Amino acid sequence: MSRPVKYHNADTLLENCTTRGYCFVWPNTSNSLAPILTANSPLAKQFATTSIARILFTIIKFPPASSRITRWCTTEFCVNPWHHREAKPFMEKRRKQVLPFDDLPEQDSHRHLIAPDEATLHALKPTNPIFTDLLAQSAGEAGYDCMGLKNRRFVGLSHIHHKGEEVPRTGENSKPVLIMRSMVEKQKREAEEAKKPVVEDEDFDLFTSKLFDAIGKSKSSNTTP
């Protein structure tokens, strides 16, 4: 007699988590690098992935077009879908759609390989009112792009923008990854130039006046007996 399936929908996955604020934290009992199911798990087979975060993301939000999703909160092993987002290019494409959560055009050919149909996904959604309430609150806090997270991993955004969109920066990636020697030399030259006394440009009319005055005095001295 086979054992009953432990994880078969979003509720059963979330029940195995502990909550920390709005984070749903999966227990790391096997010292794995990320929250995962076994390859033989029915959900893993159904969604073609062992990633618990990706499975919940697909059920609760939408099937991601990105090959990977990124956790934006600071809580290790958090699997809350509202604390994860797709890669930036896919986020930008979704913003241009009427309904951002709809499939992207490039997903049409392979969506069936990574996610069940909409009716099946709907049946897998959480129904436990405790979970649905926490998820709704976390969605309201984090927002569609996770920028509202209070425990956001990527901070220091107020002065860095790319085409009008804030770009994440952390303490680690705030330092230059690659330093160009020519740029360093240029910065050194600019620093040295800044130390030199400032010589203001002289007014051109005043300069010519002084020049002709000097010429006149020179001629006068040469013609004096």
Q: Would you list the domain boundaries of the chain?
A: 10-166, 181-223
Q: What is the mean pLDDT of residues 96-118?
A: 84
**What pTM, to 2 d.p., does this model score?**
0.67
pLDDT for residue 4 is more than 50? yes
pLDDT digits (tens, 9 = 90+) for 134-153: 999 999 999 988 999 999 99
**Local confidence band at 222 (pLDDT 50, 70, 90 cut-offs):** low
25 compared with 165, residue with greater pLDDT: 25
pLDDT for the residue numbered 201: 39
Q: What is the mean pLDDT of residues 187-208?
A: 48
Residue 64: count of CB within 10 angstroms of its CB: 21
pLDDT for the residue numbered 106: 82
The rounded distance, in Å, linking the Cα atoms of 70 and 78 is 11
Q: Which of 46, 59, 61 is nearest to 102 (CA)?
A: 61
Q: Which of 49, 47, 61 is nearest to 126 (CA)?
A: 61
